[in-house]
A and B are shown apart, each in its own frame.
Chain A
Amino acid sequence: MSENGAAPSGRREGSGSRLTLKDFANHIKSSWCPGCGDFGVLAALKQALVKLGIAPHQAAVISGIGCGSKIVDYMRVNGFMTLHGRPLAVATGVKLANPDLHVIVVNGDGDAYGIGGNHFLHAARRNPDITHIVENNQIYALTKGQYSPTSDRGFKTSTSPDGAAESPVNPLLVALAAGATFIARSFAGEPKHLAEMIAAGIRHRGYALIDVLQPCVTFNKVNTYEWYAERIYRVDEDEGYDPADFARAWQTAGQWGDRIPVGIIYQRDDVPPYEEHVPALKAGAVVHRPFDALDEERFAALKREFM
């Protein structure tokens, strides 16, 4: 423990082996609509943390602004609900200052792929050890139903009355092209699978994208539970599916429409996370570094270059 007040906390293997879901519960009543897919994400995230033995104080869940981003208010964990589009950037700062924390970002599709698109691109190529869960409901829900970057062509909303004219972002392909080292998709209607994907993402050393098909029962009447359930298939149904095979992953990630792949689409383990390239972190988290690491003598040495 340093003078700085920061407690050395979570290691990769969490310490709370006797954790239960209750440890992550708080008294806040959620404002989500009954039936919202975000309930599934919340349940799955808690399950994944329990399964990995990561206690609430060892994780930092960082979200943006949107329906789904409210998740941090609905669970007991170190949480930071930031700005619309910015949680990846804030999370990168948290991770680089204190890599002992398990940093998990949760945000909506508008947040992640629209306003925060630049951070998404750069997180994917930077590869910090951050797990990124996107609640992709193909709509701007909190602002009451405008089309989003992942809305399909022709999707009619208040801001696309004649149908969306842009081609949708395929986040898996973008992440793959940008160099992401873990890319998965899951469905909020299957929290067990989702919890598995989140756990695999947290275990992955590096940036892990989990794009979650998340029905918005209030504003998206097209992409419903049934719509997704009819289309999804698990990539690991094919025993020969190898997530390390880039070409296969590219072809799989490109699928959308009649058949939508879920599961770990791509993963490689040979890229060290960004933090390992940061010289200042060689001696551990900088939040634990005492101020007197710079003393009078070192200070005098620093001044010498100006003499």
Chain B
Amino acid sequence: MPSSNSHHNSANAQVNHIACPDCDLILSIPSLAVNEVTYCTRCDATLLKNQKNSINRTLAFAITGLILFIISNLFPLLSLKAIGLTQESSLLSTAFALFQADQPLLSLIILLTTFVFPATTLVGTIYILIQVKTNRINTYTAPLFRFLRSTDAWGMLEIFLLAILVALVKLGDVADVIYGVSLYAFCLLILSLSLLSYSLNPQDVWNKLRDKQEVSI
């Protein structure tokens, strides 16, 4: 039913119009110059952007990000030295420490926001963009991309970086803090993640998926 529906309508207003996601206003899609962004005329929501090479750039940032994410997890982020003892912390060990301290739910929240969601974002983005680039879109591409878009807010590594800075200041005058190897990789990871979300133009992926669907009908 949905396939016949879309085919039937592809000729009229639906194709060259867009509804504002924040206020539902119907606007015609303008032809955008490179780096141009359109906003809703009623509520100023960002509607569409045209970024040159968005898919290639995003893919590059995602691959860089994945490598940095792996490095960030191999070595400790911070170590604390006191009374002859050294305590190390990494992304996973932070979540695990809460589990050991009888806070399994809190531990799960940390595990999801600092490990699981960032990892799925990186791996999922790479997978989808490669599929889009090589024209090997299958029935799972769209649901997977939807999942990535809706879990985007739950990867919180940049907030975790802020927390590291806060912990550094708090502990600074109490004990010796040693920056781990991974901390540098982690800072670069945050940079690639923000560049990734800046360069990703979801509409480019959706357009590819839509074209593909129309061909298959």
The answer on A and B forming one complex is no
* Residues in A lying within 8 Å of B, measured CB to CB: none
